[in-house]
Structure 1
Amino acid sequence: MNKGLLLSLALALPLAGQQAHFEGFKLYPVDGSIAPDPAVEKVLAPYRAQLEAKFGRVLCQAPEGLFRGRKGEPNALGAWMADLMREAAAKATGLKVDAALTNSGGLRANIRRGPVTVASIYEVMPFDNELVVIELKGEDLIHAIKQGIERRAGEPVSNLHATLSGTPDQPVCTVTFADGTPVDPSAIYRVATSDYLAKSGDTMRALAGRAPLDTGLKLRDVALQACESLGKESKPLLPPQGNRYTIPDAFLDPLDQQKVKLP
């Protein structure tokens, strides 16, 4: 049970034409010393059982956990989600999807080591964001990656890699696909992302205002289905291999202070 305090205020209510005045207050501790009310418990019991049956169900095991990391550190959770988005978008649309971009802000919790439950995934993604596909010119894709680096030292991506070189005052950013092929600024690419980013852009404003192709899938459902499939095959949920960003240590503090501006 969560501990806290219940505040009781005493107010004197006025007669017509008079003002109310404050008479005092009292704090009541809310902790384990307060016994549950049997009548309330009886009402809540069936609903609690339903919630526990739904959200307590174990989907798979995560022996290492998947963590977001701090700025400049590998974002294993974000990389896993971006990979799922690209794969699910390609399957749902029947199209080649070249890359995926999402935002760390949409991932609200880590996946801790041990059993992964339905509740675990809801904690990670409490929002009803949907998976969409947008078309981007290569120059806009590169710009979006750079914006994500400037704001958060890199947002989660799939099938992309960005490298910083030079100095924080004179930085150079190189963006390629995972196999090392450069992103062509003039080419058109299909990119999986969330409907939220396709509308607002968040930290990657270059994504905003696009006409998205809807997949009909919620991001949370994509993650739930992936974990459930792993569990059925008795496979563990493991962090993706490889890093999506190469950022020298000299850039980390300036990036944390948002002082790096990428041309």
Structure 2
Amino acid sequence: MAKTDGNGISHNVEAVYDTIGGRAQYHATSVLIDGKPINDSKTYRVATIDYLANGGDYMKGLARGAKVAVSPNAVFDDLLYYFTEGKGKDMPLKGSPENRWSILKL
């Protein structure tokens, strides 16, 4: 995430990265999930697209994860279905203006 100056992260995640010369580096100084530090002995569920999970966009692939569900559809098809016919039908989208991505300037 740091190399691309941030990608979308969930509303319950906060990430802080070091910076050198104004650009985020690869070292996270803090990552919180639900306001708590990552627990190495806990299992977390991550939803993403295969491009990022496989290491695209300069990311490291999710090598230790296990796929629990894979859709044969393009992501936008699944999103359209969710909001037009699925559980999200007639539910308002609630975007948040809060910043969940921070760069620590050294």
Relative to structure 1, the CA distance from residue 206 to residue 195 in structure 2 (aligned partners, 3 Å threshold; closer, same or farther) is closer
More helix by share: 1
In 2, distance between residues paired with 1:209 and 1:160?
Answer: 20
Paired residues, number: 97
Q: Provide the identity percentage.
A: 34
Q: TM-score, normalised by structure 1?
A: 0.30
In 2, distance between residues paired with 1:153 and 1:238?
Answer: 24
Residue segments in structure 1 that go unaligned for 5+ positions in a row: 1-147, 252-263
Q: How does 1:75-224 map to 2 (within 5 A)?
A: 148-149=1-2, 151-158=3-10, 159-164=12-17, 168=20, 173-177=29-33, 179-198=34-53, 200-202=54-56, 203-208=58-63, 210-216=65-71, 218=73, 219-224=75-80
Q: TM-score, normalised by structure 2?
A: 0.62
The code of the aligned residue for 1:195 comes to D
Summarize deviations over 1:76-120 as a string: whole Å, max 9, x none: xxxxxxxxxxxxxxxxxxxxxxxxxxxxxxxxxxxxxxxxxxxxx
Summarize deviations over 1:132-157 as a string: whole Å, max 9, x none: xxxxxxxxxxxxxxxx11x1122211
Relative to structure 1, the CA distance from residue 174 to residue 154 in structure 2 (aligned partners, 3 Å threshold; closer, same or farther) is same
* Higher Rg: 1
Residue segments in structure 2 that go unaligned for 5+ positions in a row: 22-26
* Contact persistence 2:52–2:61 (CA under 8 A): no
In 2, distance between residues paired with 1:217 and 1:239?
Answer: 27
Q: How does 1:55-94 map to 2 (within 5 A)?
A: none
Give RMSD over aligned pairs: 3.4
Residue 101 of structure 2 corresponds to residue 245 of structure 1: yes
In 2, distance between residues paired with 1:184 and 1:209?
Answer: 15
